Amino acid sequence: MRKNIVAGNWKMNTTVPEGVALAHAVEAAVFAAPELKCEVIVGVPFTHLTAVKNVISKVKLAAENCADHKSGAYTGEVSAAMVASTGAEYVILGHSERRGYYNETIEMLKEKVDLALSNGLKVIFCCGESLDERKAGTHFDVIKNEIEGSLFHLNAEEFAKIVIAYEPIWAIGTGETATAEQAQEIHAFIRGLLAGKYGTQVADDTTILYGGSCKPSNAAELFAKPDIDGGLIGGASLKAEDFMGIVTAF
Ligand code: PEP
């Protein structure tokens, strides 16, 4: 049975003390919540990992990136081993902001995925199309290429450590959410793709998140769809109350 997950992606927001306070508030709310039907993750900047880890236990920790090299002379980079040594369980890879602003390629992401897994991290792997690609009707191909190119070299055992996040670029931070039907269509497509490669059991066991202007007011409708197993949340993860409004939408 696959897990439901709601994961925050704080991006480049909050100082360390602000981040610790936010994580503390989320942990307290999760602790006080009666019966949550999902795992809760906070994805935080590298600088925050250790301090945030100290104030959470029910809430899981994710980094927002890791390097595509193991170690060595890569000034400013942070390796998967370094991330894992903070106690983080997950790393978010392939976010469209990293693909777009930092030119992360399918090949680089393949390296990052391998390094993350070999260091014991689970991966939240983002994929999604731009508005132009959707208008041109190439969105299925874009998603297929991103998933196949960076993940399909994994064996089934390795793939069990992957969570997919479908994030249409046109819905990220724009206030424009994909409709629940649009999201479900892509999630079902992704699950079919996984079934073709790894079989129906692996496909059924894979958590597929939706991301893109998800908020307390639309989360329940999205999460009610059969192939939507939770969300990757940007803006709304920066306020504990909003984030918990999504967490409790299941
Ligand atoms: C994201 O960046 O992963 C995201 C989903 O952002 P937002 O929720 O702000 O659209």
Q: Which protein residue has the closest C-alpha to ligand 1 atom 2?
A: 234
Confidence of residue 73 (pLDDT cuts 50, 70, 90): very high
95 is catalytic: yes
The overall average pLDDT reported for the chain is 97
Q: Look at residues 136, 146, 150 and name the one whose alpha carbon lies nearest to residue 167.
A: 146
97-156: pLDDT as tens digits = 999 999 999 999 999 999 999 999 999 999 999 999 999 999 999 999 999 999 999 999
Looking at residue 1, its pLDDT comes to: 87
Q: Read off the pLDDT of each residue in 213-241 and give the average, rounded to a whole number.
A: 97
- Ligand 1 atom showing the smallest separation from residue 236 Cα: 8
Confidence (pLDDT) at 61? 98
Looking at residue 178, its pLDDT comes to 87
The alpha carbon of 23 and the centre of ligand 1 are apart by a number of angstroms equal to 18
Nearest ligand 1 atom to alpha carbon 95? 3
**Cα-to-chain-centroid distance, residue 154:** 18
**Measured from the CA of 171, which atom of ligand 1 is nearest?**
10
pLDDT mean over 67-93: 98
Between residues 176 and 222, the one the model is more confident about: 222
Q: Is the pLDDT of residue 177 over 90?
A: no
| Residue 53 or residue 173, greater confidence | 53
For ligand 1, pick from 97, 99, 214 the residue to mutate: most ligand atoms within 8 Å of CB. 214
Looking at 95, 104, 129, 139, which residue is catalytic?
95
CA angle 157, 120, 99 (to 5 degrees): 90
pLDDT in the model for residue 233: 98
Relative to the CA of 165, which ligand 1 atom is closest?
3
pLDDT at 173 over 90: no
**Ligand 1 centre from 212 Cα, in Å?**
5
Q: Average pLDDT of 3-28?
A: 98
Residue 176's pLDDT is: 81
CB under 6 Å to ligand 1: residues? Answer: 9, 167, 172-173, 211-214, 232-236
Assign 62 to helix, strand or coil: strand
Contact 140, 182 (CB under 8 A): no
Helical H runs in 8-161? 16-32, 49-53, 80-85, 96-101, 106-118, 131-135, 139-151, 156-159
Indicate which residue's Cα is closest to atom 1 of ligand 1.
234
